[in-house]
Amino acid sequence: WNERICAECYATNGAARILNTKNLITRIVNNYARISFNFGPTLLSWLKENAPRTYRMILDGERRSRKTHLGHSSAMAQVYNHLIMPLASRRDRITQIRWGIADYEHHYGAKPEGMWLAETAADTESLELMAQHGIKFTVLAPHQCKRIRLLKNETGEEGGAWTNTADGAVDTKRPYLVRFDSGVSITVFFYDSPISRAIAFEGLLNSGENFASRLKAGFNDTSEPQLVHVATDGESYGHHHKYGEMALAYTLRLLEEDKTVKLTNYGNFLEQFPPAYECEIVENTSWSCVHGVERWRSNCGCNGGKPGFNQLWRAPLRKALDELRDAIAPLTDQEGANLFKDVWEARDGYIDAILDQSPQGMDRFFRKYQSHSLSVAERVRALKLMEMQRHAQLMFTSCGWFFDDIAGIETVQIIDYAARVLQLARQLFDVQASLLEPAFLTRLAEARSNVASAGDGAQIYAQQVSQKQLGLEQVAAHYAISSMFSSFAEETDLFCYRVWRDSWEIFSSGRGRLALGRAKIVSAVTTEQESFSFAVLDRKSVV
């Protein structure tokens, strides 16, 4: 799926064609150099490994944006694994912000000014935490603004009368400051909802001329500085709308040639025109659920539109994951005290080990956070503990609740993450973890699928998830069987494992073959290792 979207959208926006009236290519441009954008860390890591040319075009576009906009990048950071921030624990929110910032710095080589909230799901606490971590701005939907007022009135006094902005009535052409009791603040830009909706759903990308005209029509007749800006899913430009990247490229060219307007980005605009107004937001709201954030925890009515389906499964799924997260927290405290100076600070810093899994990267991580010089076995336990907590973050990825049924691939994926949490908990805590899986499955059984054959969440776990769990022994078996048909080097990478072959011989007799060997399997993630002897018989049948 990533390969398809990359071919249709991510790659094409890095090299978008502009045609003339004879349908001939006149220019090929990098849209990333001229738009504000964000890539989720998991997607960006996939692009780096699997689509390096596209990845380089994204980085090149980001660098060019900084040159164009006085050092302000058009790339925004993102809360790490696209979870719904108002529904997360405070501890998880902090980790999401810190991991998102660290990932941004890893790819772009600078600190982010802005951060995108998954589904623009926001509450005051999340905004304050972002501000405390140095984030200067974010982007929200206009209906998420509760009320506004001038920072200083006509006499220069602080504050003034509040104006309610119900039903998205806020002026989206100016920035707004959100101030907090802790003394920090963050700027919010509310995007133009009608134009954004026209891009996504009303065919505005069918014509670059119409797109440019619609954007220009968003300005008021005033001498005050104004920012007309829209926010859409990036997949709109080439995937949802074929050739949408070309419409975008042509629109940007028309705007660049127009002397009445100027392309900018949020950081550049904010430096030139700081907020004159402050605002308060509507708590627990998002851009894709009219009920706030209920799409990710209840049967609110927002869905993909499959007739007869309900989303009653959302609430028990959320409870199952919340309860699992809370159950492993004291176990993490207990085990972490034996390994780290502060286990939760170590979790926040684990992003560095994720981004650099080399021996040197691992050494740096342990030198910074370990409570003492850890043995090889203790390191393995420490990394398993961190991986358990990493998957406890991943299991809250928002798409698990977004669609119609618990049996969908997105929801099964987040249950996969939960299964990995349970697997690592069993390896770490033995008897203490024995009750975790039964309790999880009991709650999961309350989440019934709309598909009769799928049953409920517990059945989905048994039929689709639990069988995916593997250990080093299964990896060794995979390697042994594959060695009959593939020529492996003495040292080879096999997904997230490294294999060192000690010996391997093959014997043939008639149509049959027998392979005997011994290999050491090492997890590149937890560094756990074990050696295995194996025998594989390939017996061809003769009819």
Tens-place pLDDT, residues 347-405: 999 999 999 999 999 999 999 999 999 999 999 999 999 999 999 999 999 999 999 99
- Determine the pLDDT at residue 432: 79
Give Cα 182 distance to the centre of its chain.
Answer: 28
CA dist 305 and 288 (Å) reads 14
Please tell me the predicted confidence (pLDDT) of residue 542. Answer: 44
Helix 436-444 / helix 314-336 crossing angle, nearest 10 deg: 170
Q: Tokens at residue 14, please? A: 């890095």
Extract the residue ranges of the chain whose pLDDT is less than 50: 541-543
Listed in order, strand segments (DSSP E) in 226-286 are 277-281
Q: What is the pTM of this model?
A: 0.95
Return the pLDDT at 541. Answer: 47
pLDDT digits (tens, 9 = 90+) for 113-171: 999 999 999 999 999 999 999 999 999 999 999 999 999 876 677 878 999 998 899 99
Unique residue bearing structure tokens 């050739």: 243
pLDDT at residue number 43: 94
292: phi > 0 → left, psi -120 to 50 → alpha, else beta; which? left
- Helix 359-369 vs helix 376-394: angle between axes, to the nearest 10 degrees? 90
Would you state the pLDDT for residue 511? 82
The pLDDT value given to residue 543? 42
pLDDT at 20: 87
The conformational region for residue 496 under phi > 0 = left, psi -120 to 50 = alpha, else beta, is alpha
Residue closest to 286 by CA, chosen among 84, 4, 81? 84
